[in-house]
Amino acid sequence: MDRSFVRGAAVSEQHTYKGYAFTDETTETEDGKFRARVRILGLENGRRSQRFIDLETFVNEVDARRRALAAARSWIDEEESQDKLALPSSFIPWQ
């Protein structure tokens, strides 16, 4: 099917990065621009988690898709850096 005949249609692309799966959900808007969107799936303590990120609108579809991929990787990197065991505490080491 030629996507140029279907406004707002999108072909989702699935990717994996650092154990997360994410899907480029970029869509064409009514005015012919492209809204960068991404859906991120992860597993936390045996439970599935899902995040949706809506980003800027672009004139060019390639730019919108690049932005969606960059945003997903950035979000995953940030999540990974937030090690729950590294939180500050009042623990004082035994001397």
**For residue 88, what are its two tokens?**
């500050």
| pLDDT tens-place string over residues 35-63 | 999 999 987 667 788 999 999 999 999 99
Task: Name the pTM for this structure.
Answer: 0.70
Mean pLDDT of the chain: 80
What residues does each domain of the chain span?
Answer: 3-77
| CA–CA gap between residue 11 and residue 68 (Å, rounded) | 13
Using the predicted structure, report yes or no on whether residue 88 has a pLDDT greater than 70. no
| CA–CA gap between residue 66 and residue 87 (Å, rounded) | 33
- What is the pairing mode between strands 34-44 and 20-24? antiparallel
Q: Which of 2.30.30, 1.10.3470, 3.30.160, 1.20.1180 would CATH assign to domain 3-77? A: 3.30.160
